Chains A and B, each alone.
Chain A
């Protein structure tokens, strides 16, 4: 029996599945998360996986959260320990009073357990082996059997799981019925042999609403389809590969001519990231909307081309699904660590537009917007996702599209405009926004052609090494970047209930943890105004926010506080007033972490006057 009272919680707990990579557990685990959603209870699942295909440990964590906290919480209330390799660490990680679910087919020595947790053994292997003979079936159905047992232990409605199985195996009757059978094998065993339910329970609610459950990479790829991308060139790299794969799948469904069956898109798996970005630049130069998806090491390889895009003013969209660096770093762990690398990518004086979506819904919106921005600004636009958003299913508002929306193709001089006698200077700023007109190759027999080059040239694209001509062009590029400030998504501010001189800046995947942390901090008596930055260059409201607060915490997921550096650098702010709050161990940032870090700092700031202390 446990020394500590078992945790009792309805719709608010964390279940972690410890599996072996390649054992087919992913789909059963995902079904567990979806089943809870079908109860009307929000969940936030996360894959924690190694850079490996088969055999190594992998975890899947489901945060059940009626309150809708979608950030990682930290801690585990129930461990489904299916991997002997990680057993000790897994058992040690359970919160006191938590639950351990394991395969009890083989007896385990009592030293392998803990006194302060509830141990639930189900002879999964024995049940599986007595029912199935095929080894692969044994492995796969074992996962469904534990799902069935969990449904009984957590008081879940089996009908909702059956419904999910029905949807997944629609038209495949045999698979459908055998999965339902396996589900009930586990469920019935638990109901007959264990005390069900346990202290952790799922109760039907109505907190999910019309929200959808989607991975950020898939949403970004869908944004590219809606945003009119026709050329995608990519090179496989974790955690970005699923962007291109999802784009391929979406295009197969939505981008084939119904009559001819022909493709209204071209996808090329490049030989490397250099080729991928080269193809994107070539296609964009020629008037198509093109993008690539990559991660940190790919960005490093692309930087020469990114400088060309900046200087020769060629649109490009790069989706950077960030992972922990430097070098190969931790390929399967999340970070927001390429902020500086992307903002100033390439040699010479360069600056680039970065977009920071907070979740899949924004990944969709910003991906589509990136193509408008790239063509409007004629430069590279980075869509900065990370592994946490990209490779995990996240509950988010439904995706929306306005059918009246047209693509903004930017300043393109057509054959008609050239015929009218409009003055075409490829690098001529005609209206003060720093953005020149361009022509597509092949536009007009005698007018509008020009020679694109990475070397300096005058306003009419004629080669020049004159210092004044070069500087004139560089100054125009600065003007263009200023124009970008008002075109990119603006920061979103939300103020504390009471006026406060403390603020916090955050961005991207930190969002849900930050929202939750605010509640925790308020409970400790700390009031903070919040500013979520959604793009670089920074809108003027960032400077205003900094001016309005004595101290501003900058919360981010990298070691060197890169966004803070960028803010200090671009806004000329006294760095002392910007307090870095950094989380960079490769796991997603949590509300607990943020609340502790900010809370502790706030407590330090409340210095007790000396006289008062001694009196």
Chain B
């Protein structure tokens, strides 16, 4: 069977969000990934975040490249348009889509091969342009669909399932995103939904280039001893700097936090992020500090997770280009075409 239909019926008592949608309305087709794949947990987290935010599913455009991770947009938001494009080229396709209609929410889903190897350039340039998007890399350090080759995020010294040691240096996409000017940068772990769901929700609420690197172990090819992207390894080395709650239309103060432990960030869309500090000294508004912190901890073999940097007042590409509020795809000849009278003048100037 090449197409798996998912039954639509659901329990009548399922909880509904403020739009009246249930969790099921945010689901997609049945996943064809391996049982236990970290990517399926990310899919579930995206569904959860969109449900929590009461997003109209069809107002999301989900765009991906090629690879296991890039297949996942078929498995969530079944009422959204999806685009499984070209290997490593999700960022450019998403940029174009975003330029055409600034009113949709853009979810870019990619993998470590897709973004750190073949698409490293497009990853970099979409971020430096400040495209308003949520860019999620489902990072497992291997090529799954082609059966276990190292990707560019595999740590030096880590071992493949076949016992080969990786001698190339790893690319840290979070460090890159910070350097390239992403205005929302986070890292999480597919095995930690409570951290991941609010991070995705906060990234969607952010206006500008949001980047989330999600370590997502490959159950088939990269979950063994010697791997630095296995469930066990990530759990042991996870160093969360904060945990957060995203609050839509609620007063964050009403949530019970111990004084001095919470930092509230108001987002462009009116939502608020309540950051519960774990590392008391960590300041998510300090780009340089974040870069240093990350480098220091990486040297110790720790995987820093949490909301690492956010600039709530960021500008996006549309602001840089000063485009009209109306989506460009809604403009017709009456506003786009200068008409024959203007053309006559142009002709006259060319004689």
Contacts and interface: CB of A to CB of B under 8 A. Distances in A.
Interface of A: 37, 208, 210-214, 222, 225-226, 228, 230-231, 233, 254-255, 257, 260-268, 270-272, 274-288, 290, 304-305, 308, 398-403, 405-407, 439-446, 449-455, 458, 462-466
Contacts of B299: none
B3 A280 contact: no
Contacts of A400: 340, 343
Contact of A278 (B92, B101, B104, B331): B92
B96 A264 contact: no
A281 B85 contact: yes
B93 A266 contact: no
A451 B73 contact: yes
B183 to A, nearest CB: 18
A266 B79 contact: no
A464 B333 CA distance: 39
B58 A283 contact: no
Contacts of A290: 96, 100
Interface in B55-90: 56-59, 61, 63, 73-74, 78-86, 89
B281 interface: no
B77 to A, nearest CB: 9
Contacts of A452: 81-85
Contact of B97 (A210, A283, A406, A466): A283
A288 B99 contact: yes
Given A283-B96, A288-B329, A450-B81, 16 more contacts: A226-B338, A231-B328, A262-B324, A263-B322, A264-B331, A274-B121, A275-B122, A282-B94, A308-B86, A407-B332, A441-B104, A442-B104, A451-B73, A452-B82, A454-B86, A463-B3
A210 B80 CA distance: 53
Contact of A282 (B79, B84, B100, B333): B100
Given A405-B333, A440-B329, A449-B58, A399 B343 contact: yes
A287 B101 contact: yes
Interface string B311-329: 0000001100111110011
Place the interface of chain B in its size category. 35 or more
Contacts of A445: 56-58, 79
Decide if the interface of chain B is mainly helix, strand, loop or mixed.
helix
B190 to A, nearest CB: 22
A306 to B, nearest CB: 10
Interface string B324-351: 1100111111011111101110110011
B125 interface: yes
Contact of A401 (B2, B97, B339): B339
Interface string B99-140: 111011000000000000000011011000100000000000
The 10 tightest CB contacts between A and B, nearest first, are: A282-B96, A278-B92, A288-B100, A441-B81, A287-B329, A279-B96, A283-B96, A286-B100, A282-B93, A212-B350
B324 A226 contact: no
B133 to A, nearest CB: 11
B146 to A, nearest CB: 15
Nearest to B336: A228
A230 to B, nearest CB: 4
